[in-house]
Structure 1
Amino acid sequence: MNQIEVEQALRAAAGARQAGQIDRAARLYGDVLTKAGEHPVALNALGVMALAAGSFAQAAILFRRALAVDAAAIDLWLNLATAHRHQDDAPGERSALAGALRLDQRHFMANVRLAELCERSGDASGAAERWRGVLAMAPLIEEPTPAMAAMFAHARSFVEQQQAGFAAAVDADLAPVRASHSVGARRRFDASIDHLLGRRQIYPNVCAGLHMPFLPADEFFERRHFPWLDQLEQATEAITAEYLALRGRHEGEFKPYVAMAPGTPANKWSPLDNKLDWGAYHLWRNGERDDEACARCPRTTELVEALPLARIPGRAPTVFFSVLEPGAHLPAHTGVSNVRAIIHLPLIVPDGCTFRVGGDTRTWRKGQAWAFDDTIEHEAWNRSTEQRAILIFDVWNPHLTTAEQELLAEFYPIADRHGYAAPDDAGS
C-alpha cells in the first residue's frame, strides 16, 4: 500500500466503525497492518474496539504496539492507561499516565486520571497534589460541562479535607514544643506554619512613597521596641478627658479624615469622602504643630512631645484623635512609607470594634496601645452603635538606625526643594 491507499483504507475502516460494521472495520484495519506494517492509527482503532468489547488485555497489547511506532501521541498513553485501569492494574495505569505527562505536565485529562488513580489507591497526599493541579487549570475552561463542574467540586472538597487532616496532625504533634515557648517567641514561626497550611496570607510592605528595603515586614511590632508604651497607657484617662472636652467644646472642629479633591474618580474611599464617619482632630499634621489645638490638650501634648516621634519636615509627626462613627468601615488600604510605625492608644472603645493588619485581626481595648506598620494592608470596623475614639501618632520604625533616621530627615527637604511630589498621607 502506498500512502494514498493507506489513507483511503483508514477512512473506509473509520466509516465502517461509525456505521456499526465492527467486523468489517476490523478487517480493513487488519489489512492496513498486513500491507503497510505497524500503523499507529490502525492499532489505536483496534485497541479502542477491543476496549469496547471488554478485551482489555488485548487492547493494552494493541496500544503498546501503537506507542512503539508513535510514542509522542498522548492519546495513546491515555488509552493504554484505560486498558490497565479496566484490568485493575494500578502500576500499569500509573506508568501509562506518567508517559502522557512526560510529554505534557499540564495535560488536563492526564492529571485528572492520575488524581483519580491516587485517590483509588489510597494515596491521599498524591491525590491532593494532583487535584490541586487540576483546580489550578480550572479557570482555563470557559464553559465546563455539568460533569466537569461536579469533578471540580469533588477536587476542592478532597483537597480541603486532606489539608484539614494534615493541619490537624501537624498541630497535634507540634503542640508540646509550642507550649514550651511564649506566644511572642513563636509569633513568626506560627505565622509561617499557618501560611504553609493555607490558614493565613503573608502580606508585604506596599509603599505609595519611599520604601526602605530590608526592614522586617512586621504587621504589629513587638512591644519591646517601645518601652514607653507603659507610660503612655498610664495616661489614658487624662488623654480621654481632654478628648471628651474637645467633643464638648469644639465638636465642629472635628473634620472628615477623607477629603478628596473635587473631580476625583470614584474609588474605595468615596463612601467616606467629606463625611464624619471617619473624623479627626489634629494636634500635628504632616510635621506641623497646631499650637491652638495643642493648647486645648496640654497633657496629651506634653506626653506626646516626650516620645521619640518621627520628625520629618513636611511629613511627620502626625498626631490626632481618630473617631469612627457606628457602622463605619475603613476599607483595606496601605500607607506611604515603612520608615514609620503607627501608634494606637484606644480611648473609647465599645464592643464590636476591630482592626486588621495583614493576617492579624485584633480588638481595641481601652488603654492598651499597640504599634503597627501601616504599609501592610489594614482595615478597621466599628460594628457597634457608639463612637470609637483613639489617639494616633507616628514614630520611627524601630528597625531603623539612628543614621537612617538622620538621613531621612535631611532627604525630604532636599527632595521637596527639587519638586518631589510625595503622596499625601497624614497617618493611618
Structure 2
Amino acid sequence: MASGLMPPSDQAVTGVSPEPIDPARRIDAIDALRGVALFGVMAINITTIFRVSIFEQFLFPKTPASPLDHTVETVLKLAIDLKALALFSLLFGVGLAIQFERLSKSPRRAALLVRRLAVLLAFGLFHLCLIWNGDILTEYALAGLIVLPFLFGQRWLLAVAALASLGLYLAMQAFPPPGLWPGTAAMAQDVTEARRIYATGGFLDVLTFRLREIPLFAYLHANIFPRTVGLFLLGAFAWRTGILRNPPRHLLFSIAAACISLGAALILARAGGFTAGSGRIGVLAEPLGTILLALGYGATIIGIASLKSGNRLLGWAASLGRMAFTNYLAQSLIFGWIFYGYGLGLFGQLGAASALAICVAVYAAQIPFSAWWLGRYRYGPVEWLWRTLMYGAAQPMRRTV
C-alpha cells in the first residue's frame, strides 16, 4: 500500500519534474515485509469481518463450532489480530518518509504529497462506500495528512510526536472517553441485520446496509486513530535513522527478540487473566503488547530479508508487497462475492478454519499472479493509477527490458 521507493533520483536532483523511480531500485526487504503483512491483514479481515459481523466479537462470547475453529480464532487473536494492521501502519509511515525524501529537490514536494494522500482518500471512500466498509485506506489518508507537516521537522520531532500519539492511544485505552464506543444494543441490532442482509441480500441491499454500518465502523477507527498516526510517525522516524536503509542485522534481531518476548508476555498475561487485578494499568497490556509484537515482527522480517539467503526465503513476498494496493482491493472484491448474497452467500455459514483456508488459497494465487504481472509491467494496475493521478501525467507502465 505505501510505496517503498528509493531516495532521490537524478531527475529530482537536477530539478526536472519528479517521476516515480524505477521499481528495480525498490527496497526488496520492505516490499517483502509488506507482502507478509498483507497475509496477516487478509486473515483477520476474512475471519472477523467478511465471515461474520465484526461486532460479534464485542458481544457475548460464543463457543466456536469446533476445536479447530477455536484454535484458529485463538492463534489469530493472540498473534495476528491488530498486529498485522499495526505493521502496515509502520510501513505506510516508512513509505511516506521515502517519498518525502525523494522529492527533496522538487519545489512541488508538498503539493505532490498532499495530492498523493488526496488520491488515496478518494480510493478509500470509493472502497468504503461501494466495495467494503472495513476499508482502512480512508483512515490512512487522513492520518497521512496529519503526519505530513512533521516530515518537514527534525528527526527528534518525529520521535516526540510518535511517542505523544502512542501515549494518547494508550491513555484512551486505560481511560476511554465517553461516547467513543458503540452501545451494546446498537451492535446487537447490527449483528442481527448483518446475518440476514449480507447472507441473502442482492447487491443494492448489501450496499444500502453497508452504508448504514459506516457510523458504527467510525467508532472503531476513532479508537485506533491516534495509534495509526503514532505508527506512521514511528515508521518515518525509523527511515530517518537509516536502520532500514542499511539494516544492521544484529541490532534488528536484538530488537526483534526483545519486542517479541515482551509483547508476547503482555498479550498472554492479558489473555490469561493475570492482569485482571491491575486495574486500568492492566488494560494496557494488550494494546502495548500489540505495538511491541508489530515492531518485533517487522524487525525479524527485515533482518531475515537482508541476509544473503533472505531472497530465497522471502523473495516470493516482494512482488506481493509491490502490488499490495492492488491485491488488497482484489481481496475485497473476491471475499465480497464469496460471502455476500449477490455471490455465494456464505456469510455466517463458515467457521474460522474454513475461512482461513479460503484466505490461504486466494493469497497463494496472488503470489504467482503478482510475479507474472511485475515481470511484464512496472507497477500493479492500482499502483500505476495512484502514481499517475499523483503526478498528473500517465506513467510508463510496460517494462522496457
Computing the radius of gyration from Cα coordinates, the structure with the larger value is 1
Choose between structure 1 and 2 for higher RCO, CA contacts under 8 A separated by at least 6 residues: 2
Q: TM-score range by the shorter chain?
A: under 0.3
- Structure showing the higher helix proportion among its residues: 2
